[in-house]
Amino acid sequence: MAINYEQQAADWYEAWNSRDAQNICDLYADDLVFTSPFIRKLGLSEDGALTDIQAFYAYVSNMLPRIPNLRFEPVANCIGVQGHTLVYRNQSSHIVTETFEYNDLGLIRLANAAFSTAPIKRKNYGSR
């Protein structure tokens, strides 16, 4: 199956910015492997990995109420050989990358999140 990475990115941002856990999880495979520093920080896994959709759903459902102003602003969609990496600014102005690989059904099977260590200040370029 050929993956349309631009459409996948649009669907991903729409789901996360809707703040609906089920819509978000519908993008991921049942046998998902998802890694994030926040998984370790929340004490959900020592290695920072969740290895199925039920654990990921619990993570998302737990996280969304903690971040009521959650919002992801696209910066770039970097396309690779086996997947793509979304680069975005979150509600705290941190730059985040999420790298995805997909299964044959077009669902995310591998996801790896990385976060900037400090907020990135926006540059003011005048009237643009």
pLDDT band at residue 124 using 50, 70 and 90 as cut-offs: low
- Spatial distance between the Cα atoms of 122 and 112, rounded to a whole number of angstroms: 25
Q: Largest Cα–Cα distance of the chain, in whole Å?
A: 47
What pLDDT shows up at residue 38?
Answer: 86
Q: What is the pTM of this model?
A: 0.89
Q: Which residue has the higher pLDDT, 92 or 15?
A: 15
Helix ranges (H only) for the chain are 5-18, 21-25, 37-41, 53-66
81-to-38, 88, 100, 112 alpha-carbon distances in Å: 27, 20, 11, 16
Output the six-digit token pair for 41.
């920080």
Q: Which CATH architecture has domain 5-115?
A: Roll (3.10)
* Domain boundaries along the sequence of the chain: 5-115
pLDDT tens-digit readout, 20-71 = 999 999 999 999 999 999 898 888 899 999 999 999 999 999 999 999 999 9
Position 72 pLDDT exceeds 70: yes
Are residues 21 and 58 in contact, defined by beta-carbon separation less than 8 angstroms? no
120, pLDDT greater than 50 = yes
Predicted pLDDT of residue 58? 94
Residue 128: per-residue pLDDT: 45
